[in-house]
Amino acid sequence: MTSHRTVFNHVGLCVADRERSRRFYEGLLGFQFWWELDPPDNLTAQVVQLPEPLGVHATYLVRDGFVLELLDYSKREVHAGAERVMDEVGLTHISFSVSDIAAVVEKVAEFGGTVVDAAVSDTMAMIRDPDGQLLELVSDGWLAALPARP
């Protein structure tokens, strides 16, 4: 047990186009805009370990207490890394419970994402956001089967 308090803050995603990503997360998954920030390059460069200039713009979206930070760089060219796979150490995916998987899957392309066709069933689906981030959709019926949270 730690002697200090720890509280979840946010998950950050680097995005190529913040408006496109906002449209995806707000329109498809129901996130709401919270606030945005243009932090100074000198402080940000130290934290993100990238050389200046950066031109970081951070957009914070919220859904059910989960905070998603969309980071874009106006003074750097962002690039896609290797497509992550589920047995690669590190963050593999972000999961959302939805009431109608088929309806959400049907709208993924409309909001700029892609469906991992081989990974779609009546109770689960894997999709990618416009920048390729892997997202898992799980039927909200699954929530009733989970043990109580601590």
Query: pLDDT tens-digit profile of 59-71?
Result: 999 999 999 999 9
In this structure, the dihedral spanned by the alpha carbons of residues 5, 3, 89 and 109, taken in order and rounded to 10 degrees, is: -10
Q: Which domains, and CATH codes, for the chain?
A: 1-76 (3.10.180.10), 85-145 (3.10.180.10)
Query: pLDDT tens-digit profile of 79-120?
Result: 888 887 889 888 899 999 999 999 999 999 999 999 999 999
What is d(CA 28, CA 104) in angstroms, rounded to the nearest whole number?
Answer: 7
For the entire predicted model, the pTM comes to 0.91
Closest C-alpha to 135, from 104, 79, 101, 95: 95
Q: Given strand 66-73, what is the order of strands in its sheet?
A: 11-14, 66-73, 56-63, 32-37
Q: What value does the mean pLDDT of the chain take?
A: 93
- The tokens for 20 are 């496109």
